């Protein structure tokens, strides 16, 4: 006789209650809750450099850059997550079941990969993020090499990617911003 492992499915309300009590951030997907690992010094610095560049590019636009403290809810996937950075243009659209700031309408999302997140950030999470109607660009910063990838929505709704490596630069169209790879990795030991 074999026994199947029983997995507890959480409601979104249970997840929100856990988040209010926990010092650790969690991601919610399809009834399961996943603890998010703390970032390294390198991870934090890379995210900060990208957010600085995006924040500077905002200028007079009605947009704001946000750190990983802003939760994003991806309605089509039932995903609640804390990306390393986000830009919201226009008024922040709140996710009603969430008592704290949870946005539905990011224009730009940023993730810095790690050994544990790289496959997810460049695979399933990319696909989830692409379902957000307001999203124009998804910026992925590599933890392995000096490489920045900007996935961007085309006028016909399809997605394409731009890649820049050490010595290069890559455009974030929605903010008319050039991310200079060597500036993003300033002070980093990553070659």
> Model's pTM, two decimal places?
0.93
pLDDT tens per residue, range 164-180 = 999 999 999 999 999 99
Domains defined along the chain, listed by start = 41-70+82-184 (3.90.1570.10)
Q: What is the mean pLDDT of the chain?
A: 93
Tell me the C-alpha distance between 104 and 70, whole Å.
11
- Concatenating the DSSP letter of every residue in the chain gives ---PPP-PPPPHHHHHHHHHH-SS-EEEETTEEEEPPPPPHHHHHHHHHHHHHHHHHHTTSSEEEE-TTSEEEETTTTEEE--SEEEEESSPPB-TT-SS-EES-EEEEEEE--TTTHHHHHTHHHHHHHT-TT--EEEEE-SSSSEEEEEEE-TTS-EEEEEEETT-EEEEGGGTEEEEHHHHTTT----
Q: Is the pLDDT of residue 11 over 70?
A: yes
Contact 47, 71 (CB under 8 A): no
pLDDT digits (tens, 9 = 90+) for 67-83: 999 999 999 999 999 99
pLDDT band per the 50, 70, 90 thresholds, residue 98: confident
User: How would residue 91 be classed by pLDDT, with cut points 50, 70 and 90?
Assistant: very high
């Amino acid at each position: 006789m074999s026994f199947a492992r029983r997995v507890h499915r959480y409601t979104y309300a249970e997840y929100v209650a856990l988040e209010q009590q926990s010092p650790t951030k969690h991601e919610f997907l399809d009834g399961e809750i996943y603890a998010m690992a703390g970032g390294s010094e390198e991870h934090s610095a890379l995210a900060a450099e990208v957010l600085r560049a995006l924040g500077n590019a905002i200028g007079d636009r009605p947009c704001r850059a946000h750190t990983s403290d802003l939760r994003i809810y991806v309605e089509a996937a039932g995903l609640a997550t804390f990306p390393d950075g986000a830009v919201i243009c226009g008024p922040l659209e709140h996710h009603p079941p969430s008592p704290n700031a949870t946005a539905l309408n990011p224009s730009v999302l940023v993730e810095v990969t790690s050994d544990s997140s790289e496959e997810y950030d460049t695979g399933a999470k990319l696909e989830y993020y692409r379902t957000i109607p307001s999203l124009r660009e998804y910026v992925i910063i590599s933890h392995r090499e000096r490489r920045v990838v900007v996935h961007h929505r085309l006028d016909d709704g399809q997605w394409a990617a731009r890649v820049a490596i050490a010595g290069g630069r890559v455009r974030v169209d929605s903010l008319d911003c050039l991310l200079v790879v060597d500036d993003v990795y300033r002070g980093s030991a990553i070659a």
